[in-house]
């Protein structure tokens, strides 16, 4: 038992289908909060727990690569 932290996003009125977003190895960080906001804006209730809540409150990792950039996703050694 215990209390974990996380983020919950939803529209102000009504009931909406729920979505549970499980983070990657870097845990709950701003990119996941943005995902939660986007999903909520189109009608979902979104819960994103911090899987590392026993260790520390989120965000645990602040210097992580952005996977939005194609160069980061494929790495410098891949040539196309």
Q: What is the pLDDT of residues 9-57, one digit of tens each?
A: 999 998 999 999 998 877 888 888 999 999 999 999 999 998 876 776 6
- DSSP H or E stretch at residue 48: strand 45-49
Dist CA 11 CA 23 (whole Å)? 22
Average pLDDT, the chain: 78
pTM of this prediction? 0.67
Query: 67 is written with which tokens?
Result: 């996977």
First to last CA, the chain: 50
Query: 58 is written with which tokens?
Result: 């989120």
Res 76: pLDDT: 52
Over 60: is that where the pLDDT of 2 sits?
yes
């Amino acid at each position: 038992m215990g209390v974990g932290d996380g983020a919950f996003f939803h529209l102000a009125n009504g009931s909406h289908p729920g979505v549970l977003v499980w983070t990657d190895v870097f845990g709950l960080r701003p990119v996941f909060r943005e995902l939660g906001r986007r999903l909520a804006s189109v009608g979902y209730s979104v819960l994103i727990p911090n899987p590392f809540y026993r260790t520390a409150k989120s965000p645990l990792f602040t210097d992580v690569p952005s996977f939005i950039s194609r160069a980061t996703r494929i790495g410098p050694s891949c040539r196309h």
